[in-house]
Structure 1
Amino acid sequence: MHGTGADTRPVLFFDSGVGGLSVLAPTRALLPQAPLVYAADSAGYPYGTRSEAEIAARVPALLGRLAERYRPRLIVIACNTASTIALPHVRAALDIPIVGTVPAIKPAALLSRTRTIGVLGTRATVRQPYVDRLAAEFAADCTILRHGSAELVDLAEAALRGDAPDLAAYRAVLDGLFDQPGGAAIDVIVNACTHFPLVEAELAAASPHPVTFVDGGPGIARRVAHLTRDDSWPATPKAGIAVFTRLDASTEPLRPALARHGLTQLEAL
């Protein structure tokens, strides 16, 4: 498939839903020639409320099937929950470079003046011990307040389908951070779920005071560019493919948003 002519192997992004588009977008901006496949485990969505054992078993099995079908040169697990739980299992199972998603605590610590950082994620992500390790390594002098929200994942999916935003719902999510002891001092919020940067404007509008939002997308894009720096790409990029583990009527309203990200072909796994 490669070795003669242009290397047409895609970069494959994987998430439980459409959150990984916040990682695909900065990668596409850096690597406009890259063929892209975006895989959403819509049948398993949402991951934030599933058991760790389920995710650890499900994600490597799905990525094995995706790797067989699309022969990617690199896989990005564009989902914090799946990365924290399944990354070692996937790396053990597949002989392809795998890039995971890490909460952007390091860049947040570089930006925070008040030294109080909020971490918004799924409940599965915010309780992970590796969040403690990142905090100890990069933000030892900061107060880290966490809030896990399954509602915000659904709000982001709804926003991408074109639903009108309900600022009161966003405000309620942010209250989970700001209402904690010391929460009023938060000046930087880490969007530690790839869905959340998709609704950053709504979160900013609902925030009781101005805060800076950071996420891992730009860092992941730079990592993908670095790992593929010696690769060749097709002269004209192929149409991007979005593949869903369950393709049904609920996927239809996502077509315009997917097309904006260059994903014009829809397939079922």
Structure 2
Amino acid sequence: MADRRPVLFFDSGVGGLSVLGPTTALLPQAPLVYVADSAGFPYGTKSEAEIAARVPALLGRLAERYDPRLIVIACNTASTIALQHVRAALDLPIVGTVPAIKPAAETSRTRTIGVLGTAATVRQPYVDDLAARFAGDCTVLRHGSAALVELAEAKLAGETIAPEVIANELDGLFHQPGGDRIDVIVNACTHFPLLEPEMRAVAPEGVQFVDGGPGIARRVAYLTRAQSWPADLPPGRAVFTARDQRADALAPTLARYGLSRIETL
């Protein structure tokens, strides 16, 4: 019998679509459940204690309801704070999302990289450790932006994004001492790759952007390599912890990612 258990992706909002996309490109046969914790959105402005308590409890409820074969925490903030708590609480594979500092350091020629995430992510000791381990010979500049998270949500809901607003957020990196030498930016929030075309348009020429999506996709493919998949792929589900007008406006975008059913937890 084919295994019909889904791969479950979890984020505070729609940022995790930047991880779901590359994963489904590798595993088009995978049943999907995508969960946006819209009732808790945004995570980047919350305390570590709030996230460490909320995420494991919510994922426990989701695991019970949807019986996933694997959970992807497609959120840098939730992963850097709560990943170990979730792994301790649930007896199934959990894949986290962490800033792609290693590939950024491997790519940078100027040895100056920017880490662009939420305020909660960029202040984490986990980021200090990644920088020390993989970018010890680099200057690593950080900037936390809550505005870019909101802008990504707005874009996917069909709203127009003003270029000067994007440029103002990137200035938080480029206007730091040494920021003019940045040649690689780590999108350390899964929302931010969704704005990469807009960011490329206003960033200095030659600046590259990297994120963890492709690496996570490869990890999911590896962990499920010996598993079977259903021959008749069920409709993908998008689950919101709170339903509002923004969630309904996202329906066309969600459908493009294979998520044709919308539910409320």
Asked if 1:120 corresponds to 2:116, the answer is: yes
Counterpart of 2:2 in structure 1 is 6
- Partner of 2:34: helix, strand, or coil? strand
Aligned-residue CA RMSD (Å): 0.6
Counterpart CA distance in 2 for 1:170 and 1:248 is 26
- Partner of 1:220: helix, strand, or coil? helix
1:153 to 149, 152, 160: 149
Counterpart of 1:247 in structure 2 is 243
User: Offset at 1:210?
Assistant: 2.7
Q: Give the residue type in structure 2 aligned to 1:257.
A: T
- Partner of 2:44: helix, strand, or coil? helix
Counterpart CA distance in 2 for 1:221 and 1:208 is 29
Please say if residues 32 and 237 of structure 1, whose CA atoms lie closer than 8 Å, have aligned partners that are also in contact: no
Counterpart CA distance in 2 for 1:32 and 1:128 is 34
Asked if 1:207 corresponds to 2:220, the answer is: no
Counterpart CA distance in 2 for 1:249 and 1:101 is 28
- Please, which moves more after superposition, 162-171 or 204-213? 204-213
Q: Give the residue type in structure 1 aligned to 2:27.
A: L
Counterpart of 1:73 in structure 2 is 69
In the comparison of the two structures, how many residue pairs are matched? 265
Counterpart CA distance in 2 for 1:67 and 1:79 is 17
- Partner of 1:224: helix, strand, or coil? helix
User: Offset at 1:231?
Assistant: 0.3
Counterpart of 2:88 in structure 1 is 92
Please say if residues 125 and 192 of structure 1, whose CA atoms lie closer than 8 Å, have aligned partners that are also in contact: yes
Counterpart of 2:191 in structure 1 is 195
- Partner of 1:102: helix, strand, or coil? coil
Q: Give the residue type in structure 2 aligned to 1:197.
A: P
Q: Give the residue type in structure 2 aligned to 1:182.
A: G
User: Offset at 1:236?
Assistant: 2.7
1:1-269 equivalence runs, <5 A: 5-269=1-265
Q: Over residues 95-139 of structure 1, what are the superposed CA-to-partner deviations in whole Å (9 max), with x where a residue is unaligned?
A: 010000010000001110111000000000000111111111111
Counterpart CA distance in 2 for 1:157 and 1:248 is 13
User: Offset at 1:209?
Assistant: 2.8
Q: Over residues 204-237 of structure 1, what are the superposed CA-to-partner deviations in whole Å (9 max), with x where a residue is unaligned?
A: 0111333110000000000000000000001132
Counterpart CA distance in 1 for 2:136 and 2:87 is 30
| Runs of 4+ off more than 6 Å | none
Identity of aligned residues (%): 75
Q: Which runs of 5+ in 2 are unaligned?
A: none
User: Offset at 1:252?
Assistant: 1.1
Q: Which runs of 5+ in 1 are unaligned?
A: none
Q: Give the residue type in structure 1 aligned to 2:82.
A: A
User: Offset at 1:248?
Assistant: 2.0
Please say if residues 204 and 210 of structure 1, whose CA atoms lie closer than 8 Å, have aligned partners that are also in contact: no
Counterpart CA distance in 2 for 1:134 and 1:240 is 34
Please say if residues 120 and 147 of structure 1, whose CA atoms lie closer than 8 Å, have aligned partners that are also in contact: yes
